Structures are given as C-alpha cells and as structure tokens.
A and B are shown apart, each in its own frame.
Chain A
Amino acid sequence: MIQISEVVETNEMITKENLDVRTITLGISLLDCVSDNLEQLNKNIYEKITRLAKDLVATGEYIGKSYGVPIVNKRISVTPVSIVGASACKKPEDFVSIAKTLDRAAKTVGVNFIGGYSALVSKAMTSAESLLIDSIPEALSVTEKVCSSVNLGSTKTGINMDAVVKMGKIIKKTAELTKDNDSIGCAKLVVFCNAPDDNPFMAGAFHGVTEGDAVINVGVSGPGVVLHALESVKGKDFGTLCETIKKTAFKITRVGQLVALEASKMLGIPFGIVDLSLAPTPAVGDSIADILKSIGLEQPGAPGTTAALALLNDQVKKGGVMASSYVGGLSGAFIPVSEDRGMIEAVEQGALSIEKLEAMTCVCSVGLDMIAVPGSTSESSIAGIIADEMAIGMVNAKTTAVRLIPVIGKDVGDMAEFGGLLGYAPIMPVNRFSCEAMMSRGGRIPAPIHSFKN
C-alpha cells in the first residue's frame, strides 16, 4: 500500500520543486510522403502530420491531469527534410515552402515546436542538403514553430569542415533576418556532432531514418527536485551526494516512463525512449547552476565546476537507466545559459566564460547551448567555436551541439531577451583572435583513430 509520506513527497516535487515532464515528442516518418512534385509533397506532409498528431496535445493534457503532473510541451519531430524534399526541391525557396507546411501543420495540431528541418552532413553534403542549409535563415524567419538542426560530424565520419564553415555563415544570416527580435531565429537552430535519431528535445529533435513510422519519445526534467534533495546532504561526502542524486533521478525518470507508456497506449503509437536529461527553465529553483552551487561551488565556472558537473551527469544516468526500459536521446544535464537563471547570474558575475562552458560540455550533454554573443562576431569565429565543439564530440564519442545566438546590434554588457522557456541572456565575449585561415582550408577532418573498432 502506498504510504502517505510517499504521496506527500511526490506532490511536493510537483508543486514546489517544478517536477514536470518536459516534453512528449511524437516522431513521424515522412519518407512515405516523398514526391517529385513539390505541391503534392507539401500536401502529403501536411496530411500525414495532422492525421497522426491530431490527438497528441489533448492526450498530453489528459495524462497530465490524470497523474497530476504537468506535461509542459507537446512536440513533433519529422524525418530530416533534406531527405524528404530531395527530389522535389530544386532551389532553397522550395525547401522554405516545406518549412511553411510544417509550421502550418504544427499550428493546426497545437504543438509548440516541430523539429526536423534538418540535414545530416557529417561526411559530405548532397546538393539537396546544401539547398536546405541555404534555406534555413529564411525558413526560420518566416515560420514560428519550425526548428532546424544540422549534423556536422560524427566519431565514425570525422568533421565536415565545409559544412561547419557554411553553418558559420548561415547562423549569422539567420541572426540578421531575425534581428528585430534579438536574432531569435538562431535559438531555433542547432548544429550537432553525433546527433541522436531519437532526441525529443528542441531545437535538435528529428525523426531519424533508423526509426519506424511513428514513435513516442519523452523528455523528463527536474533540476529543482535534485536541488531540493541535495539540501538534505550538505557537507556530506561524495558517496552520499552521488547516492542522493541517483535515487532522485530514478524517481524523476519513473514519471517519464509512466507518461511515455500511457501516451503510447492512448495514441496507439509505439514507445521509443525516455530521455534522462535534467533540463532547466528560467523559473527560480529550476536550475542546473543551483545544483552545482549546492554541491559546493560559489558560482558555476569556479574551479571544480567540470568535476561537479561530471558527477551530476553520471549519477543522473545511473539512476535513470534503471528507471526506464529504453533510454536514449541526449540523456544528461543540459547547461543552456539563457534558460537557467543561475547560469545567467554566473555570467553576469564574471564567473562563467565560453571557454569554461566548452570544458563543461566534455562531461555532460549537450554543448554550448543558448549562448548569446556579440552580433559583430565573425562568421569564421562562429565556425571555429562550432569546430571546437564538434571535435569534443568526435573524439569523446558523445553528442555535442552548438546553439549560438550572435545578437545583431548588441555587444558585451547588453542583454538579449528571447521570452518564455528560451529565457534571456547576457551577451558573452568571444575570443578576439582570428581562425580565418584555418576555416578557409576546406575539406573535412578525418575520423579519429579510436573510431576504427572493427
């Protein structure tokens, strides 16, 4: 029989510590929508998404109310559009028409984001992939709900440096086209190394070609719950600390598993994975930075930060893996700057630099996330920052990502406002020395020696 203390504990997590299910993401394969006629393709895409996802939002709301746990976002990911549109799209504008279709479908079914305006170019680009990438700035400026991602490297293929350099330009152009809103277009665009096929989190969600027709993936959250649990073990040794995080992660993930199975049953769509990420929000107390402080740092960025984050990330996985039958996606602690009040404060205090964040990404998911930099940052410097992050992912056989926002018209000392879950961010300084000559070499960086495991 359930104990009253257990019921109280669960409900306090929900009401006081911001426990929620961050997202139910419905992955939809668009491969059977393919046509060489653009109009037909758009029609097929719209029909398939609105048919499969018509009950997604209502189901999410119902499950949330049944268990008394908020399900914050309902989202859709689709097959990378560069593949779906390859035979119909002859110019970037053709791809933009697909972005508009995705946006329209997302609005019809009421989801808050749709991901998969993507290209996987870790080794090289097809002409269609190149066209899709060229279309990203316009696609993100004329749509609201569409998220875009590009996989630029992997441990098996190395890093496609031509694509890295191209993305430096594309990010800058996206920033220009959305400069009236603090370059918010870039908040919907992420580049990856080792991108997973089943990630439920935006902006990087897409429905990989290894997936089936449709799948339910769930992303859990709960930094506030971990933070609260850690308050009871202040000053205790690392063994106690780790055990506490692990147990808490188990509990959080069980809720995700429950919601995923229930959504799968109600929608008649197979359950894919639970993503064990600790995803912060700008809400007070829902912060990874606050957990790092609770572990014993004055501010994130202080010496010891990488070690603290490494143990946090590892314990979250250890607790979470046992709580779910299938774990996937990004699974780890997110360290976005703009979406985490504690991170923002650390930047404002001068405790946290891009270089320290880069070191932190070596030991957690996912990467340099939601970092605002001066609008004057050069395309090659953006490409250089991306290349560094891709190298970390490639060498360590992990997923890394970059979501940088060069905020046009703003400089260090200014603040960028994105609103809602995307939060706000102080503009961070970028190293002023050039990497132009390196970025202009062209070609790709070969796969690392330890990728040859056969």
Chain B
Amino acid sequence: MNKTVITVVGKDTVGIIARVCTYLSESNINILDISQTIVQDYFTMMMVADYSNATKDFVTLADELKKTGEEIGVEIRMQKAEIFDMMHRI
C-alpha cells in the first residue's frame, strides 16, 4: 500500500470534501481515513488515502489538487505519508 496524506486548510465552505473526494475517486485513489479539526480558527481536514492504483503520477496529482484548492479558496496539500511517519515515529 502507498499511503498519502491530504490536508485541506482554509475557511469552511460547502462542498470542500465533495470536491476532493470526487477528484480522488476519478483518479482511483482509495480513502482510508478522514479526520478534521480547527487550528487557529482554520478548518483543517486530513485524509489518509492509498494511491497504489492511481491513474496519474504522484506529483501530477499533488499539483492538480493544489490547483483545485486554489479554485475553491482553500489550501490543499498532498504529501507522501512517509514524511510524517519518519518525523513522528521511531
């Protein structure tokens, strides 16, 4: 399994999760977990997903999600999960 962490940070509006989920589904990425929190008045959503069978290259996916975020006024980051595992787990 190849895990990615997708974070969405910004002002909460209608349809953010829908947009991201639609994109992921179209790219054949399987969502494993979703959680959300409020950090300094900002809505923060985190998705853990499996991109093993994604139809596009990872960096293309990350770029396209970033662009989607810009369209709806939130910041979307898609990162390989290893960076978090490395930093926070021994």
Instruction: Say yes or no for A438: interface residue by CB 8 A criterion.
Output: no
* A255 shortest CB reach to chain B, Å: 6
Instruction: Say yes or no for B63: interface residue by CB 8 A criterion.
Output: yes
State which of B44, B62, B78, B79 has its C-beta within 8 Å of the C-beta of A4: B44
Cβ contacts B62-90/A at 8 Å (1 or 0 each): 11000000000000011111111111100
Binds B, one of A65-73, A234-242, A360-368: A65-73
Q: Is the CB of A67 within 8 A of B77?
A: no
* B74 shortest CB reach to chain A, Å: 14
Expressed in whole angstroms, the Cα–Cα distance for A158 and B59 within the complex equals: 51
Q: Is the CB of A254 within 8 A of B86?
A: yes
CB-CB under 8 A for A67 and B44, given A1-B33, A62-B59 = no
CB-CB under 8 A for A4 and B84, given A65-B59, A67-B79 = no
* B61 shortest CB reach to chain A, Å: 10
State which of A1, A6, A66, A68 has its C-beta within 8 Å of the C-beta of B87: A6
Expressed in whole angstroms, the Cα–Cα distance for A1 and B85 within the complex equals: 9
Q: Is the CB of B83 within 8 A of A258?
A: yes
> Interface on chain A toward B: helix, strand, loop, or mixed SS?
helix
Binds A, one of B14-22, B23-31, B34-42: B34-42
Q: Is the CB of A6 within 8 A of B59?
A: no
CB-CB under 8 A for A10 and B87, given A2-B5, A62-B59, A65-B63 = yes
Q: Is the CB of B85 within 8 A of A2?
A: yes
Interface hits, A1-28 → B, CB 8 Å: 1-11
* A327 shortest CB reach to chain B, Å: 16
* A220 shortest CB reach to chain B, Å: 12
**Nearest CB to that of A67 among chain B residues?**
B83
Q: Is the CB of B62 within 8 A of A2?
A: no
Q: Is the CB of B35 within 8 A of A10?
A: no
Counting contact residues on chain B (CB < 8 A from A), the size range is: 20 to 34
Instruction: Say yes or no for A257: interface residue by CB 8 A criterion.
Output: yes
Expressed in whole angstroms, the Cα–Cα distance for A2 and B44 within the complex equals: 15
Residues of B within 8 A of A6 (CB): 84, 87-88
* B59 shortest CB reach to chain A, Å: 5
Interface hits, A232-263 → B, CB 8 Å: 251, 254-255, 257-258
Residue tally, chain A, CB below 8 Å to B: 22
* B30 shortest CB reach to chain A, Å: 15
Q: Is the CB of B58 within 8 A of A7?
A: no
| Residue picked from B62, B63, B80, B85, most chain A C-beta under 10 Å | B80
Q: Is the CB of B83 within 8 A of A68?
A: yes
CB-CB under 8 A for A67 and B80, given A4-B37, A6-B88 = yes
Residues of B within 8 A of A68 (CB): 62, 77-79, 83
* B16 shortest CB reach to chain A, Å: 16
* B10 shortest CB reach to chain A, Å: 13
State which of B33, B36, B78, B84 has its C-beta within 8 Å of the C-beta of A10: B84
**Nearest CB to that of A66 among chain B residues?**
B80
Q: Is the CB of A2 within 8 A of B86?
A: no
Expressed in whole angstroms, the Cα–Cα distance for A5 and B88 within the complex equals: 10
**Nearest CB to that of B75 among chain A residues?**
A15
Q: Is the CB of B77 within 8 A of A11?
A: yes
Expressed in whole angstroms, the Cα–Cα distance for A1 and B39 within the complex equals: 20
List 13 other contacts, CB 8 Å, given A3-B88, A66-B80. Answer: A2-B5, A4-B36, A7-B46, A8-B7, A10-B83, A10-B88, A65-B62, A66-B79, A67-B82, A68-B62, A251-B88, A254-B87, A255-B83
Q: Report, nearest first, the 10 A-B pairs whose CB atoms are least far apart.
A: A68-B79, A254-B86, A67-B83, A6-B88, A4-B46, A65-B59, A258-B86, A2-B84, A251-B87, A66-B80
Q: Which residues of B are at the interface with A, using a C-beta cutoff of 8 A?
A: 5, 7, 33, 35-37, 39, 44, 46, 48, 58-59, 62-63, 77-88
Q: Which residues of A are at the interface with B, using a C-beta cutoff of 8 A?
A: 1-11, 62, 65-69, 251, 254-255, 257-258
Question: Can you list 30 A-B contacts with CB-CB less than 8 angstroms, sorted by A residue number?
Answer: A1-B33, A1-B48, A2-B5, A2-B81, A2-B85, A2-B88, A3-B88, A4-B36, A4-B37, A5-B37, A6-B87, A7-B5, A7-B7, A8-B7, A8-B39, A8-B44, A10-B83, A10-B88, A11-B7, A65-B62, A65-B63, A66-B58, A66-B79, A66-B80, A67-B79, A67-B82, A68-B78, A69-B83, A251-B88, A257-B86
